Every structure is written in structure tokens, then in C-alpha cells.
């Protein structure tokens, strides 16, 4: 019974923090269109990813086996925590919708020295050489959509809005990064 109460308390706490984050996010998304400056702070990328994994497990990704392979040596980065959280949730949700029972969502973090060299023209000079791979074992993206998955309003699902990956792309690009799809 104590475990159940603790579990409920954690879920309530998550709901409250997500409500606050989503409220702030709506304001920030409006700012993305106007090139408002990011609200940068020192953040631990693994804390952001852990939070997104908890939300995924508690809601849309209950059917997934989530595997985290994090490089513990990664430094703190300067980033907008709320926007990165939304980007990862959008990507995880997309993966969740393309997977079924017993499929996997694998999240890996590492350094990307080559990424640092090839992205030196990024808008944000605080870009860090991080690489985050998000891999699912789902059905994949139809070949005819692969070149346009980040274009607003492009979706392969009848009930989809085509905004999730577009927002994720905008957030990552705003941080000086690159979001790619294979």
C-alpha cells in the first residue's frame, strides 16, 4: 500500500510538472516562429532524457521496452530544458506510434567529434559535440515520406498533425544541432 501511494505521488508530481512545462511551452512555441532567444541554462542531457522516458512509460509508450545506453562522461550543456524536453517527447511519441507490443525504444548518448567539425556553421555557438541516437524497432517510415518527415503538416497517419517532428527539428536547429532520420 505504501508503494502504491508513493507511485501515485510520483505520478501526480509528474502531471503537475508537465502541466507547468506545457503551459510555458505554448508560449515558447510561439517564440520559435519569431526567433525569440532560447532560455539557456546549464542542463544535464541525461536528466532531460530520463524525464522524457518516465513520461513515455507512464503514458503513450507503455507497450515499449525502453533501453537507455548513456555515456556517463558527457558534460553539462547550455540548452533550453523545456524545449528539448518537448523535442524528445515528440520523437518518442512518434516512435511509439510506429511500434507495437514488445518493440523497443533505444536511446543512446555519446560524443560526436565529427559532428562538431561538420556543423561549425550552426547558428548557436554554444553547440556541444553530443550525439543522441533514438532507435525504435517499429515499422519504419514509408520511403516516400522519409525526405519530408520534418516538413510541417506532413504525416503518414490519418490522425496525425505532422507537427511533432517539425517542432523537434526547429528546437534542435535552434540549439545549433542537426536532427536526421534514417
DSSP per-residue codes, 65-84: EEEEE--TTPPPEEE-HHHH
Grade residue 122 by pLDDT with cuts at 50, 70 and 90.
very low
Q: What is the mean pLDDT of the chain?
A: 79
Give one word for 128, left, alpha or beta, with left for phi > 0 and alpha for psi -120 to 50. beta
* Residue position matching grid coordinates 497517419: 157
* Torsion over CA: 146, 147, 150, 152 (sign): negative
Encode pLDDT of 50-82 as tens digits. 999 999 999 999 999 999 999 999 999 999 998
The SS3 call for residue 106 is strand
**CA 13/CA 124 separation, integer angstroms:** 33
* Residue position matching grid coordinates 507497450: 63
> Which of 20-24, 41-45, 48-52, 104-108 has the least mean pLDDT?
20-24
Radius of gyration of the chain (CA): 17
Position with higher pLDDT, 12 vs 149: 12
Where helices occur in the chain by DSSP H, the ranges are: 2-33, 45-58, 81-97, 113-118, 164-174
Bridge-based pairing of strands 77-79 and 41-43 is antiparallel
Does residue 118 carry a pLDDT above 50?
no
What pLDDT score does 124 carry? 45
Q: Which of 39-43, 47-51, 98-102 has the largest mean confidence? A: 47-51
* Torsion over CA: 15, 19, 22, 28 (sign): negative
Grade residue 119 by pLDDT with cuts at 50, 70 and 90.
very low
For range 99-125, the mean pLDDT: 71
pTM across the whole model: 0.73
Residues 6+ apart with CB under 8 A from 1: none
Amino acid at each position: 500500500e505504501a508503494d502504491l501511494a508513493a507511485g501515485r505521488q510520483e505520478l501526480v508530481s509528474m502531471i503537475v510538472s508537465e502541466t507547468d512545462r506545457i503551459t510555458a511551452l505554448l508560449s515558447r512555441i510561439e517564440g520559435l516562429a519569431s526567433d525569440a532567444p532560447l532560455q539557456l541554462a546549464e542542463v544535464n542531457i541525461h536528466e532531460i532524457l530520463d524525464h522524457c522516458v518516465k513520461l513515455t512509460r507512464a503514458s503513450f509508450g507503455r507497450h515499449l521496452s525502453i533501453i537507455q545506453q548513456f555515456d556517463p562522461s558527457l558534460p553539462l550543456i547550455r540548452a533550453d530544458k523545456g524545449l528539448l524536453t518537448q523535442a524528445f517527447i515528440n520523437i518518442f511519441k512518434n516512435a511509439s506510434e510506429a511500434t507495437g507490443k514488445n518493440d523497443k525504444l533505444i536511446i543512446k548518448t555519446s560524443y560526436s567529434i565529427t559532428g562538431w567539425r561538420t556543423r561549425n556553421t550552426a547558428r548557436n555557438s554554444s553547440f556541444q559535440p553530443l550525439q543522441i541516437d533514438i532507435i525504435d524497432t517499429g515499422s519504419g517510415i514509408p520511403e516516400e515520406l522519409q525526405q519530408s518527415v520534418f516538413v510541417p503538416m506532413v504525416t503518414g497517419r490519418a490522425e496525425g498533425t505532422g507537427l511533432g517532428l517539425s517542432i523537434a527539428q526547429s528546437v534542435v536547429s535552434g540549439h545549433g544541432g542537426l536532427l536526421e532520420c534514417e
